[in-house]
C-alpha cells in the first residue's frame, strides 16, 4: 500500500515551524509539522459526531482518546492519504508567485524508481497549489552533506567504486556516483523541456562534484543550495567557482536524510508518540507491515513583490509492505 503523508500549509501551523537553535536537528520541521497536522485532524474528527464503529475498538483497546485512523485518513484503491487531504490552491494569479520545490530522494531507495517518483511528486505539488508550473526545482541526492570547514569534503567520496547508494556500517549513506545522479537529472531535464520547471538546482554540491556534474548535464543547474549554519564560512573557491559558472548559491536549513525510517515508523505507529495508523505488537486496529519512506517533497510559494510566504508544506510518500 502507498502512504501519502501531508502537512498542509505549515505557515499557519504555529510552533512546529519554528526551530530553536538548541535543537536544530533539521528534520524537525517536517516531522513536527506532520505530527501537528495529524493531531489537528485527529482532534477535529474526534470532536465531530461519531458514527464509526472504530471508536468502540479503540475503547476496547484501552485508548479512549485516540479516534480510529479511518476517521481522518482517506483510502482510494491502494493509496492511503494521511490525513485525508484536498488541495489548497493559490489565491492570486500565477505570475504573482515564486514557487520553489525541493525533492529529497531518500537513501537506500533504488535510483531507477526516481523517474516515476519525480513525476509523482511534481504532480502532487502542482495539484496542491493549483498551478501548472514551478519556478525552481532543487533535488537533494542522498548521502551528500556540505561541510563548510572542509573545502574538499566532496572529493573523498569518489573513491567509492559502487554505483548505486550503499549503506555504511553506522547507517550513514555514502553518496552515489555522478552517473546515477545524471540518470535522475535526465528526468528533471525532461520536465524543464516541457516547461513545467523553469529552473533546476542541486543541493550540497561542492566544487569537485559540480565540476564533474556540469559537463554531463544538458540543462545546467542554476542553483546550488547549501546548508551552512554560519554562511560567512562558505569556502571561497566554491563562491568563485559558482560565480564563474553562473550558479547561484542559496542557503537552506534542511538535512539530507529528512525522513528516516525509524522516525516515520514512530510517527505512524501505535505507541505513545504515534497516531495509530500502523499497528504495534498486537495492539490497535492499525495497518500491518513494514514501512519504507520513498521520497519527500517540500514546496514554498512566495508572493514575489511582497516577500510573503503564502503556502509551504511537505508531502512524503512511503510504501507499506506486508511483513
Residues that bind other proteins (CB under 8 A): 8-9, 11-15, 17-21, 36-37, 40-41, 43-44, 47-48, 74, 84-89, 92, 96, 98, 100, 130, 136, 223, 226, 228, 230-232, 234, 239, 248-253, 300, 302, 305-310, 312
Going by C-alpha positions, the residue among 171, 260, 172, 247 that lies closest to residue 209 is 247
Question: CB 17 → other proteins: shortest distance, Å?
Answer: 6
Closest to other proteins by CB, 111 or 267? 267
CB 185 within 8 A of CB 178: no
Counted residue by residue, the chain has a size of 323
Question: CB 111 → other proteins: shortest distance, Å?
Answer: 27
Question: CB 250 → other proteins: shortest distance, Å?
Answer: 5
Closest to other proteins by CB, 70 or 312? 312
CB 140 within 8 A of CB 221: no
Closest to other proteins by CB, 166 or 250? 250
Closest to other proteins by CB, 177 or 248? 248
Closest to other proteins by CB, 90 or 174? 90
Q: How far apart are alpha carbons 145 and 205 in whole angstroms?
A: 8
Question: CB 4 → other proteins: shortest distance, Å?
Answer: 13
Question: CB 275 → other proteins: shortest distance, Å?
Answer: 14
Tracing cell 503556502 back to the chain, one arrives at 311
Question: CB 248 → other proteins: shortest distance, Å?
Answer: 6
Closest to other proteins by CB, 295 or 299? 299
Amino acid at each position: 500500500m502507498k502512504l501519502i503523508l501531508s502537512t498542509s500549509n505549515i505557515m499557519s501551523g504555529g510552533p512546529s515551524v519554528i526551530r530553536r537553535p538548541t535543537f536544530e536537528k533539521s528534520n524537525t520541521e517536517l516531522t513536527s509539522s506532520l505530527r501537528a497536522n495529524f493531531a489537528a485532524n485527529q482532534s477535529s474528527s474526534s470532536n465531530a459526531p461519531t458514527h464509526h464503529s472504530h471508536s468502540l475498538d479503540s475503547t476496547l483497546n484501552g485508548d479512549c482518546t485516540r479516534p480510529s485512523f479511518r476517521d481522518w485518513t482517506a483510502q482510494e484503491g491502494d493509496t492511503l492519504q494521511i490525513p485525508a487531504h484536498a488541495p489548497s490552491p493559490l489565491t492570486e494569479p500565477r505570475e504573482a508567485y515564486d514557487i520553489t520545490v525541493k525533492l529529497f530522494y531518500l537513501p537506500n531507495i533504488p535510483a531507477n524508481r526516481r523517474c516515476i517518483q519525480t513525476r509523482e511528486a511534481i504532480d502532487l505539488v502542482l495539484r496542491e497549489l493549483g498551478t501548472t508550473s514551478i519556478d525552481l526545482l532543487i533535488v537533494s541526492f542522498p548521502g551528500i552533506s556540505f561541510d563548510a570547514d572542509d573545502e574538499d569534503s566532496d572529493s573523498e567520496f569518489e573513491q567509492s567504486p559502487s554505483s548505486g547508494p550503499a549503506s555504511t556500517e553506522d547507517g550513514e549513506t555514502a553518496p552515489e556516483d555522478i552517473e546515477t545522479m545524471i540518470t535522475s537529472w535526465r528526468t528533471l531535464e525532461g520536465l524543464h523541456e516541457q516547461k513545467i520547471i523553469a529552473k533546476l538546482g542541486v543541493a550540497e554540491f561542492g566544487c569537485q562534484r559540480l565540476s564533474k556534474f556540469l559537463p554531463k548535464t544538458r540543462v545546467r543547474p542554476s542553483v546550488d543550495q547549501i546548508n551552512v549554519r554560519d554562511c560567512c564560512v562558505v569556502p571561497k573557491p566554491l563562491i568563485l567557482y559558482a560565480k564563474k559558472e553562473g550558479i547561484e548559491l542559496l542557503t537552506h536549513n534542511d538535512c539530507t536524510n529528512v525522513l528516516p525510517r525509524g522516525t516515520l515508523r514512530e510517527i505512524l505507529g501505535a505507541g505513545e508518540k504515534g497516531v495509530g495508523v500502523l499497528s504495534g505488537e498486537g495492539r490497535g486496529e492499525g495497518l500491518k507491515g513494514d514501512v519504507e519512506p520513498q521520497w519527500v517533497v517540500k514546496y514554498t510559494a512566495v508572493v514575489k513583490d511582497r516577500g510573503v510566504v503564502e503556502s509551504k508544506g511537505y508531502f512524503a510518500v512511503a510504501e507499506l509492505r506486508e511483513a
